Amino acid sequence: MSQRRYDSVDAIGGLITITLGLVAAYISLGYSMGSVVAIGPGIFPLILGVLLVLLGAGILMSAWGRESEAVPPLNLRVIACVLASITAFGLLIGTAGLVPAIMACVILSRLAEPGSRTVPLVVLGLALSLLCWLVFVVGLGLPLRILEWPF
């Protein structure tokens, strides 16, 4: 009897992706689908859910037949920095504006890996702020505040 080999990390990732796709597709069924001429708000999440299920199935199928690598240990510093970055962005975008929110996001995300240099970090934050301003404010016309003193 031969032993089946599979990559457990990819298998778990595939199952998670399939589950997220099924949940998105199920939730989208509560929205109107509309018609071919005038599609409703449920079509886009349904298509994304189906694509996630197909992608997850591909990941799951590719996991079989190859040896699993050792599961890396959970790095709590990375998780805490990324969650802090997302939280800071959400709290600052409405009160302080786009530039401070992006700068806080970049700085807190970069703290996940030790040894960050200040000048490239500031340049990255300013470049991302400029890019977001060009895309969302200038290009799409969204009414985002760029810089506002909240006090």
pLDDT in tens, 63-116: 887 777 677 788 899 999 999 999 999 999 988 999 999 999 999 999 888 887
pLDDT given for residue 40 in this prediction: 86
pLDDT surpassing 60 at residue 1: no
pLDDT given for residue 103 in this prediction: 93
* Residue 92: partners with Cβ closer than 8 Å, 6 or more residues away: 100, 101, 104
pLDDT surpassing 50 at residue 136: yes
Query: Six-digit token pair at 120?
Result: 């490239």
Which residue, among 144, 143, 142, 61, has the nearest Cα to 99 in the 3D structure?
Answer: 144
The answer, as to whether pTM is greater than 0.85, is no
DSSP 14-47: HHHHHHHHHHHHHHHTTS--B-SSSB-TTHHHHH
pLDDT surpassing 70 at residue 150: no
Higher pLDDT, 128 or 72: 128
The 10s digit of each residue's pLDDT in 16-73 is: 999 999 999 999 999 988 888 888 888 999 999 999 999 999 999 988 877 776 777 8
| Buried b or exposed e, range 96-113, using 16+ CB within 10 angstroms | bbbbbbbbbbbbbbbbbe
H-helix or E-strand containing 112?
A: none
